[in-house]
Amino acid sequence: MKKKLDKCMLCPRNCMVNRNKNELGFCRIGNKMKIALAYLHKWEEPSLTGKYGSGTIFFSSCNLKCLYCQNYEISTKNKGRVIEIDEFAKICLDLQKKKATNINLVTPTMYVPLIIEGLKQALKEGLKIPVVYNTSSYENVETIEMLKGYVDVYLPDLKYYDDSIAIKYSKCKDYFYYATLAIDKMYEQVGKVVFDAKGNIKKGVIVRHLVLPGHIEDSKKIIKYLYQKYKNNIYLSIMSQYTPLKKCIYDNLNRRLTQEEYDEVINYAIELGVENAYIQEEGCASESFIPKF
């Protein structure tokens, strides 16, 4: 699997650097795993959190670098520590011992070949809880294909419909094109959402969308696309938690989403016929919900 890093093409950046020879691409990551935090996260969607929390592993770096990222300490500054595959497997098993509902891999794209090796080892050593792949969706289909049989639940973002917004905020072109191809492959692998007797998700796809201030029309286009494509076979998570953490050159990003903006998006989803969706209560836009790395 590590040979996949000889000419890295895990995401649409297609840097083609040899990460095994310390060549660095857009994500600035070599051929080792780097994590910032692993703990029981209790602020995910209810079916992911369960009773004790989602066993969440935050990986360092990101292939998007969104201007407004709430986790910029790890996504942009690459804060974290390097670990070996053996330690990754141990972390997964330790989280399971702590009664984690699942193993939740956050921003994992750059590490997929290494994650697969780690999951192989963890599975041999008794990992039984579902594995969640929590991603921006800006990755090549071939990367998702590698994950078949190792991931039970896909938790992708669908951030932007309009390519000009993706370029402006995340410096990536053709985001919607690549993200929708990736999500389609995810759905092909795991199918409709299935819950266990406790209401925890066992397999399926939950697509997250963060509604950005001043961009509710783009949000409506995304919701319409997802509903027309998958109907109620997937779950949507329509999020209102946008929190401005630093001064931004774009004025609309310097404020929180208004309740009126969020309500308009939710009402639009209801009018379309969306039934399977998570929505957030007023007051979720707070720095207190951001993990301390």
Identify the helix (H) or strand (E) that includes residue 279: strand 277-279
Residue type, 291: P
One pLDDT digit (tens) per residue for the chain, 293 residues: 789 999 999 999 999 999 999 999 999 999 999 999 999 999 999 999 999 999 999 999 999 989 999 888 999 899 999 999 999 999 999 999 999 999 999 999 999 999 999 999 999 999 999 999 999 999 999 999 999 999 999 999 999 999 999 999 999 999 999 999 999 999 999 999 999 999 999 999 999 999 999 999 999 999 999 999 999 999 999 999 999 887 777 888 999 999 999 999 999 999 999 999 999 976 554 443 445 53
Write out pLDDT tens, residues 272-285: 999 999 999 765 54
- Contact (Cβ atoms closer than 8 angstroms) between residue 239 and residue 195: no
Write out pLDDT tens, residues 81-114: 999 999 999 999 999 999 999 999 999 999 999 9
- Break the chain into its structural domains and give their ranges: 2-289
CATH topology of domain 2-289: TIM Barrel (3.20.20)
Looking at the chain, list the stretches that DSSP marks H as alpha helix, in order from N- to C-terminal side. Answer: 46-49, 72-75, 85-97, 112-124, 141-146, 163-170, 175-190, 216-230, 259-272
